[in-house]
């Protein structure tokens, strides 16, 4: 992904975050090299890309696969990932930078308006943006309204991205972060694009939010 100029000033990344990010990226490359990938592109974005920008939406605990997923299936698109201004967000930003992925530092729970404005700037400049709508602190699998608002204000289509591992380790974090085991299968599904009209009322807005959440929620994992 190529860089774009953002009006928001990114937090300074510490040397510790850079080192951890490098180590994490190395681990992702090693593990991902053993994985068996399968794409189900129900949105058709790899064969018939939309003219406008997209908001890639995926749950926080699937981040491990996203940098490689981008390189495999979406590398023709320009964009950046929203990461929180916290220490954990700095590590994620450092990690994805090793794959040529840029970051927009902001949070849906702290300074949400600033993050929204920064993301809108990237979209206006012709870039896709990637968001974990249940991040950075959850609740897990609960889609916050900020992403829907961004789609409403920019006209960008939402691309729900589902990632499922056939075998994985589950961390004891708030999101129960998943790390695929070596040689497991990774099923990536690009669900049909979702749009949010600019003039929807409160009821229609909530319906759009709930629909995207339902599409993203893995079978049997809704809490």
- Specify the pLDDT at position 172: 95
pLDDT in tens, 195-214: 999 999 999 999 999 999 99
pTM given for the model: 0.88
pLDDT in tens, 23-59: 999 999 999 999 999 999 999 999 999 989 999 999 9
15-216 has which fold?
Cobalt-precorrin-4 Transmethylase; domain 1 (3.40.1010)
pLDDT in tens, 79-93: 788 887 788 888 988
Nearest to 182 by CA among 27, 24, 69: 27
Question: Helices 202-216 & 146-154, crossing angle to 10 degrees?
Answer: 110
Spatial separation of the C-alpha atoms in residues 130 and 57, rounded to whole Å: 6
Tell me the mean pLDDT in the region 108-125. Answer: 78
Token pair of 46, please? 């790899």
Mean pLDDT of the chain: 88
């Amino acid at each position: 992904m190529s860089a774009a100029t953002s009006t928001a000033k990114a937090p300074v990344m510490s040397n510790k975050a850079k080192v951890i990010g490098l180590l994490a990226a190395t681990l992702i490359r090693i593990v991902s090299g053993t994985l068996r990938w399968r794409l189900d592109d129900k949105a058709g974005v790899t064969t018939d890309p939309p003219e406008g920008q997209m908001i890639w939406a995926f749950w926080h605990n699937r981040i491990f696969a996203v940098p490689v997923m981008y390189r495999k299936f979406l590398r023709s698109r320009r964009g950046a990932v929203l990461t929180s201004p916290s220490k954990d967000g700095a590590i994620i930003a450092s990690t994805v930078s090793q794959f040529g992925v840029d970051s927009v530092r902001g949070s849906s729970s702290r300074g949400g308006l600033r993050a929204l404005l920064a993301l809108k700037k990237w979209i206006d400049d012709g870039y896709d943006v990637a968001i974990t709508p249940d991040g950075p602190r959850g609740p897990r699998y609960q889609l916050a309204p900020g992403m829907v608002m961004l789609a409403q204000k920019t006209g960008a289509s939402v691309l729900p991205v589902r990632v499922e591992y056939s075998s994985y380790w589950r961390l004891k974090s708030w999101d129960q972060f998943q790390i695929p085991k070596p040689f497991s299968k990774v099923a990536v599904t690009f669900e049909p694009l979702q749009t949010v009209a600019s003039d929807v009322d409160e009821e229609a807005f909530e319906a759009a939010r709930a629909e995207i959440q339902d599409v993203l929620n893995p079978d049997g994992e809704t809490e």
